[in-house]
Amino acid sequence: MTHKINVFDTGLRTGRENIAHDQAMIDAHVAGKIGDSFKFIHFKPCALVGRHQDLSQELKLDECERRGVQTVRRITGGGAI
């Protein structure tokens, strides 16, 4: 039996764009609009924190702003990256 998997490469995007695309893919999958998928992601400089993390505890927000590093909260848990 063959199982079809969609493959996406969205190119270089901001952290917010990538996270929004993740959410859109999840919503489409739950609604039955797309099947199982694999996505290559490429981020412009950003700092990501997990769903339950405190941005101000995990990141030096003033330094991120000074350097133009976008700060983004993932829709999933896990540590800062």
Q: Where are the domains of the chain?
A: 6-73
**Mean pLDDT (whole number) for 67-74:** 93
Q: What is the mean pLDDT of residues 33-62?
A: 93
Task: Write the CB contacts of 44 (distance below 8 Å, at least 6 apart in sequence).
Answer: 12, 13, 14, 15, 70
List alpha helices for 1-81, DSSP H: 15-30, 55-58, 61-67
Q: Which residue has the higher pLDDT, 2 or 44?
A: 44
Instruction: Give the chain's mean pLDDT.
Output: 93
Q: What does the block give as tokens for 4?
A: 């079809």
CB-CB contact of 18 with 41 (8 Å): yes
**What b/e string do you get for 15-29 counting C-beta neighbours within 10 Å, with b at 16 or more?**
bebbbeebeebeeee
Q: What is the separation of C-alpha 53 from the centre of its chain, rounded to a whole number of angstroms?
A: 15
Between the CA of residue 67 and those of 13, 32, 72, what are the distances in Å? 18, 41, 15
Q: What is the mean pLDDT of residues 13-27?
A: 95
pTM: 0.82
pLDDT at 80: 86
In the prediction, which pLDDT does 3 show?
87
Q: With bands split at pLDDT 50, 70 and 90, how would you rate the model's confidence at 29? A: very high
